[in-house]
Chains A and B, each alone.
Chain A
């Protein structure tokens, strides 16, 4: 299987990373060599194997559902690239 430029454009859209022609070609080359390496997994039959989702063999702990009002709006807003003191500001989304 090989990853063509159309696929690269599709992945770039899904991952919200803009890609120009030159970058797309470089990425296609890199990804093809990486997937060639990854496809070694097809040698293995895994039909009756349970997928491993977590190595931590533990069940999630319960905790009480408490409201913790820490009043940290100012702190949270502080790191935003653009805000109006109360909210994060983004380019207009509704006309």
Chain B
């Protein structure tokens, strides 16, 4: 049945619509492979028998007009799923069963897809290697002992390892694009306001966005079309005219102007990344795009800004975990003692670190020096992009400053871990859409990604550019199934 799990989403949808495959056959194939892939530790919660039941029900009365007819799909465990445990990778939510469904997942089920289970991620999406999860490390299907990236590490591993045809992640500072890059898959962070945040466990509300993670650009466009809707349950959801991303997908990008920001040539960047970037520029030229040198002068201030803004918002968002209304509770001598012990035992080290940073930068006497300063620099970073987009249609950069690293390699050095997101964070600060596509392998054979950043609401534009370049790159992931015994 491996021929089923190696198919793209688009191909599975076609085969189900043409009745070459039933939903049950497809669902069973992915359940079977997921069962054999426990060593990857991609799942936090499995819902396999329900999935098979639902697929049988679908086949009894198949609605083949839907966009994802009877297609099984696992999702990041940051999306609330009604009656299915949602942990956000944290001990504090170990027993939390939502009584409602996130808008993004509801959109997916409305188009006929079937939930396979909930995928591992860094605790509250805070991490770049999936090592902060309370539910253990995720193995990168590329090689044993390698991180899959984070925070959507379980999602990236599940797509790359073919445990799900496609998935969704969330991206606050690179959490979709960096793991996509580390696993040789495609990941799109949409424009802020494109996908509803309703029912997504909140990390940093002004930065969080959900988006697709897939085997190829065509699949990515199809899922983006499904998940991007205006939603009055999210006050920052934006009511703009959304495209028919998969229908309007084209490789014709002739004459498009692509900017190359000189500030992304960072000190200490491996030669392979520099070469990959150069190759990417050549591919874009081959597709008929025009290359223009640009400057984003405040790039080096993006990470420090992010590490004020994101923890500040997180410290407010995570104040709700007090051991009273839901989640884990530790015993305490009085109310305050109960709060303090609950949060100390319920949150992991990285989450506590970020809550402390956030609390500090918002505290009396430090607010202006840190938080207000960061908001001002954030404005400068956004201005840089606004200025650049007067000259270009999109921007091409590497997705990450390195390929995937070993489990444990950066765990004890928070700052070196944070540097992973150096190319992805500016995009979140400016609220722009960006896609990471696999573009080559390093000397060890580990995947490397290129990032295409677009103008706000121009998802179609970057999907088209990615589609055209994907064709030229013709990337092949080297997956040996080493974890299947």
Interchain CB contact under 8 A, B334 and A16: no
Stretch of B51-59, B122-130, B378-386, B445-453 lying at the A interface: B378-386
Least CB distance, A75 to chain B, in whole angstroms: 4
In the assembled complex, B304 has its CB within 8 A of some CB on chain A: yes
Partner of A61, one of B232, B327, B339, B341: B232
* Residues of A close to B329: CB separation below 8 A: 81-82
- Nearest-neighbor residue (CB-CB) of B303 within chain A: A37
Q: Is the CB of B235 within 8 A of A60?
A: yes
Contact B382 A12, beta carbon cutoff 8 Å: no
Query: A79-B97, A82-B329 known; A50 and B338 CB under 8 Å?
Result: no
Is the CB of A69 closer than 8 A to any CB of chain B?
Answer: no
A1-45 toward B: CB 8 Å interface, digit per residue (1/0)?
001000110111011111100000001001101110111111010
**B377 interface residue, CB < 8 Å from A?**
yes
Asked whether B315 lies within 8 Å of A93 as measured between CB atoms, the reply is no
Q: Evaluate whether A51 and B375 lie within 8 angstroms (CB atoms) in the complex, with A34-B414, A56-B236 already known.
A: yes
A51:B372 contact, CB within 8 angstroms: yes
How many Å lie between the Cα of A72 and that of B100 in the bound state? 11
Q: Given A31-B360, A51-B379, A81–B323 Cβ distance below 8 Å?
A: yes
CB contact list, B324-351 vs A, under 8 A? 324-329, 332-341, 343-344, 347
Whether A11 contacts B356 in the complex (CB less than 8 A), given A41-B304, A54-B206, A91-B332, comes out as yes
Asked if B443 is at the interface of the complex by the 8 Å CB criterion, the answer is no
Contacts of A58 in B (CB 8 A): 193, 236, 238-239
Inter-chain CA distance A58–B277, complex, in Å, is: 35
Which of these, A14, A31, A41, A46, contacts B363 with CB under 8 Å?
A14
Residue contact A11 to B359, C-beta cutoff 8 Å: yes
Question: Would you give the shortest CB distance from A5 to chain B, in whole angstroms?
Answer: 13
Judge whether B470 is part of the interface by a CB distance below 8 angstroms.
no
Query: What residue in chain A is nearest B430 (Cβ atoms)?
Result: A55
Does B374 belong to the interface (CB within 8 Å)?
A: yes
B343→A16 contact, CB < 8 A: yes
Whole-angstrom distance between the alpha carbons of A57 and B158 in the complex?
35
Residue of A nearest to B322 (CB): A16
Count of CB-CB pairs between chains A and B under 8 Å? 162
* B338 and A91 contact, CB distance less than 8 A: yes
Q: In the bound complex, how far is the Cα of B79 from the Cα of A69, in angstroms? A: 25
Residues in A with CB closer than 8 Å to B99 are 72, 75-76, 78-79
Tell me the residues in window 276-329 of chain B with beta carbons closer than 8 Å to chain A beta carbons: 298, 300-301, 303-305, 307-308, 315, 319, 322-329
Given A56-B192, A58-B238: A93 in contact with B335 (beta carbons within 8 A): yes
A contact residues around B340 at 8 Å (CB): 12, 16-18
Query: Does A34 lie within 8 Å of B307, measured CB to CB?
Result: yes
Q: A90 near B: Cβ within 8 Å?
A: yes
How many angstroms from the CA of A85 to the CA of B340 in the assembled complex? 25
Q: What is the predominant secondary structure among interface residues of chain B facing chain A?
A: helix
Interface size counted on chain B using CB atoms at 8 A: 70
Task: Find chain B residues with CB under 8 A from A71 CB.
Answer: none
How far does the Cβ of A66 sit from chain B's closest Cβ, in whole Å? 12
A37 near B344 with CB under 8 A, answer no
Judging by beta carbons under 8 Å apart, are A90 and B380 in contact? no
* Residue in contact with B374 in the complex, picked from A10, A41, A50, A91, CB distance below 8 Å: A41
B307 touches A81 (CB 8 A): no
| Chain A, Cβ-Cβ closest to B305 | A41
Q: Does B251 contact A (CB under 8 A)?
A: no
State A16–B300 Cα separation when bound (angstroms). Answer: 33
What is the CA–CA distance of A79 and B239 in the complex, to the nearest angstrom?
34
Query: Is A84 located at the chain interface by the 8 A CB criterion?
Result: no
Shortest Cβ distance from B374 into chain A, in angstroms? 7
**Bound complex: CA A36 to CA B229 (Å):** 41
Contact between B236 and A17 (Cβ–Cβ < 8 Å)? no
In the bound complex, residues from chain A placing their C-beta under 8 Å from that of B232 are 61, 63
B324 touches A80 (CB 8 A): yes
Give CA–CA (A8, B367) in the complex, Å: 17
Q: At the interface, yes or no: B109 with Cβ under 8 Å from chain A?
A: no
Q: Which of A16, A33, A82, A93 has the most CB of B within 10 A?
A: A16
B379 lies within 8 A of A49 (CB) = yes
Question: Given the complex, which residues of A lie within 8 Å of B254, measured CB to CB?
Answer: none
Interface centre among A7, A8, A80, A90 (most CB of B within 10 A): A90
Query: A80 to B325, Cβ gap below 8 A?
Result: yes
Which single member of B301, B333, B431 contacts A91 (CB below 8 Å)? Answer: B333
Select the residue from A10, A18, A44, A61 with max chain B CB neighbours within 10 A: A18
Judged by a CB distance under 8 angstroms, whether B476 is at the interface is no
Q: Is the CB of B377 within 8 A of A44?
A: yes
- Kindly state whether residue B353 has any CB partner on chain A within 8 Å: yes
Q: Are B236 and A54 in contact (CB under 8 A)?
A: yes
B interface residues with partner A (beta carbon < 8 Å): 95-97, 99, 192-193, 206, 232, 235-236, 238-239, 298, 300-301, 303-305, 307-308, 315, 319, 322-329, 332-341, 343-344, 347, 352-353, 355-360, 363, 370, 372-380, 382, 414-415, 418, 429-431, 456
What would 18 more interface pairs be, CB under 8 Å, given A31-B353, A78-B99?
Answer: A12-B356, A17-B355, A31-B357, A37-B303, A46-B376, A50-B376, A52-B379, A53-B375, A54-B236, A55-B206, A55-B456, A56-B192, A56-B431, A79-B99, A79-B325, A80-B325, A88-B325, A91-B335
A-B contacts, 6 of them at CB < 8 A, read A15-B358, A17-B352, A46-B377, A52-B375, A90-B335, A90-B338
